Chain A
Amino acid sequence: MSYDIKRSISLYSYQDEYYDGLLDLEGCLRETAKTGATGVELLAEQMIKRFPNPIEDEKFRENWFATLDKYGLVPSCYDAFLENRIFPNRTLSLGEQVNMMKRDLRLAKLLGFPVIRTLVSTPMDVIEGSLEYAEQVGVKIGLEVHAPFSLNSDWAEGYLSMIRRTGTKFFGFIPDMGIFCKNLPDVVRDKARRMGATEEGLKIVDDAYAARVARGFTKIKYDLDLGKANMEYRMANGMAEMMEAVEKAGANPGNMWYAENSFTYSWSEPQDIIDNIGVIFHTHAKFYNVHEDLQETAVALPEVIEAFKKAGYQGFLSSEYEGGEHLRDVGVDSITQVARHQEAMRRLIEE
């Protein structure tokens, strides 16, 4: 099948430079264009101050589109956060949540985004309640499939049956490449070492991860109580036994942190992309550390991009750099990391 894979950057990737005041929103767009990416993914709440007011302002939008034109960029995905627990004493009612979702769809439309990213915590009723409006404004809702969730699972099946039942063309998935990690990121291991981790303790965790990859992960169940679902998932994947072994080996804070952190990555077969391609609107090309030789150490990028090609994918792969948070004690260079990741993807797409 012929594919048309486009490259995008989630401006989330530049958050450390933004935090430090080294890049503003336009600076992030300029860096995006320099890499050769054509798509822009935005967390409006991260880089548009006084959200959502500026988006309602015509002048702000004129400037947004003029800046995109200046750098030859197009909007790819708007990352929404359904703040359904905005008040600490209650969860918003279904109607309030649907209205919030509609607000985000409308804001995305105003900024030219064809897709919004919604999170796994979004109740099915809220998604269903927003479909008609999504169709009306022509913006699709993509549910992020982020580790520990996965595509070919009972969890995903719940959403697929909703798609079949409603016949909607406006809801689908946004896989996050953190679900295709063959190894734990080296930047995480190095941070654990700076926290005093022993090699013996690290090896226990690395071996346990390799065993999970070889055996296949036990999938997470659908449950709106994400804390409960996540804990069950961790236990089903051998967390208790592994933690006990790490504790026996010395239990220093670096090793314990590494052990705990190892459950935020997972491995799914790239075949999952091919099986679900009809409902994949957009993709988070999550990465952690790309070396000078353009090798990303955790995500199996060559296999994953091969699967997107085989599947005939027509959407964006949007770089999402998440190694920075493990380097904040020594310094982060997102600009270099993103440029390398884009070049690695370009070669794999074009080869």
Chain B
Amino acid sequence: MARTVTPFLALLARVLPVGRRLWRVIAARGARVVASLRRTWRRSLQVRVVTITLVASSLLVGVFAYLVVHNITEVVLENARRDVEGRLSEGQEYAAKQLSNHTTPSEQGLKATFENTVNYLAGGDPAQLGGVVVTLRASAHGVAPATSPKVDVDGMLTPELRRQVESGHIADQIRTGDPFDTGQRTKYLIYGSPVPTRFGQAELYYFVPLTRWDQIATGARSTVLATGFALVVLLGLLSNLVTRMVVNPVRVAARTAQRLSAGLLDQRMAVNGEDDLAMLAASFNQMATNLQRQIVRLEEMSRLQRRFTSDVSHELRTPLTTVRMAADLIYAERHSFDPAVTRTAELLHAELDRFEDLLTDLLEISRFDAGFAVLDAEPTDLVPVVRRVVDRMEPLAERCRAPLRVVVPDGPVIAEVDSRRVERILRNLVGNAVEHGVGKPVEVVLGADESAVAITVRDHGVGLKPGEEKLVFNRFWRADPSRARQTGGTGLGLSISLEDARLHGGWLEAWGAPGRGAQFRLTLPTRAGDRLTSSPLRLVPADADPDPPETSGEREPAEPQPPGRAPTRPVGPRTPVEAGSSEVTR
């Protein structure tokens, strides 16, 4: 037993992996085919319409054809049956009359009567009768059966039919056979009837070939099938044609719209005829023309504005340099003037510094607007960057009596960033926080995960009013326009920081609440060019949240929004830069 099982198991073990592999290949290929079909089905309206039309019309035509063919066959068969029944009834009467001459089965004339009767009923010449066979039997009485024409039909006579007829019933059955040995099997309708005689019961059977009836049924079926098939094909073609007529312009419109959206503003649809689709194309074209005109006008205006800003900045720098040199000279000699003039020289020097900064920022902004800004990203450890910025801001912090606190991970936080721009952003954020910190501590936190790094700057100053989270990034925006500028900011710092973050593919977001301070978060991808999906740090500080979440690094959409605050980060697959600028809602 074991001996026989072992090789079998071994074979099984060898065969199984092969089979499994084969199955896997087949399954994979099938899945591919199915997926491709599914894609086609989803994408092509034409395929859907044609398929549905084909299936529905096939079903309808099939059902109809089935009913028609079934009915025709029934009618044909019923006719054949009635025909044979009539013959049988007459034949039975005739046979009964003929056999009435005989009172015992042993009579000598009985055989002759059998023969004569079937000959008479079969009608003589078998060639002219289409193969009708008549047989008269009285096996129960030991009389040899008589058949005309003389062929062997015993094989076609089923015991069940004989039993029914012998028990006194008229019965029929359809059988297929070749009694004439023509090599071609023919369907026969066999009808049997008992024939009462004086010596007992004889049985009369008619074998009527259904060739003609079968031909009628087959012809009807072929006609119906051909018609149905043609109808289905026609419907398919028709639906294909109609769908194509409708879908093609729609496709063209979709393609054109795609091209338009890709910037090819001179793409237009061909307008053919005057129908609805032509109207669609014409309207589409008109819309495209209007859009194009508007876009071109706006672009031109924007370009002119940017150019003007840039040009003004450049043009101002040259006289400024001269004014600067003169002012520096006066400033250096201020001690030699009377105190009022000294004060003036000092004011002139300070305002010139501010003016220079403003010009620098304006030039930077105009570079961004002109699209000339280039990211010079390289792997950088952000911990020293943060420390450096904080160290630099320490004097300002001391002046403002706002202690700076830094929280960084123990290890290095490496990311592909442009350290100059990151430093500028941090400087801006920390400077803002110190300025608005009203002497309260400012915290700078650095966090990282696999895909992103984040830096938050938290102050505990006056905070932001609802809606200001977004406004803070506008150019020259002030929370309180009446407030004098003490720290010498230009009003462009956060705008430039936002552009820098955008250049990195990162986010710059703000949170704030009146009296509770504000927090800014910079999130950058670890690898330049990656898409951001989440930030390692929370935008809303934990102390501002009545029920803080357990960890940082949560997915932003799940972040519970404090009451009265707008969502602070983008929803959906948009570019983070866009999100950073447009979706921040303060």
* A and B: interacting chains: no
List residues of B whose CB falls within 8 A of some A CB. Answer: none
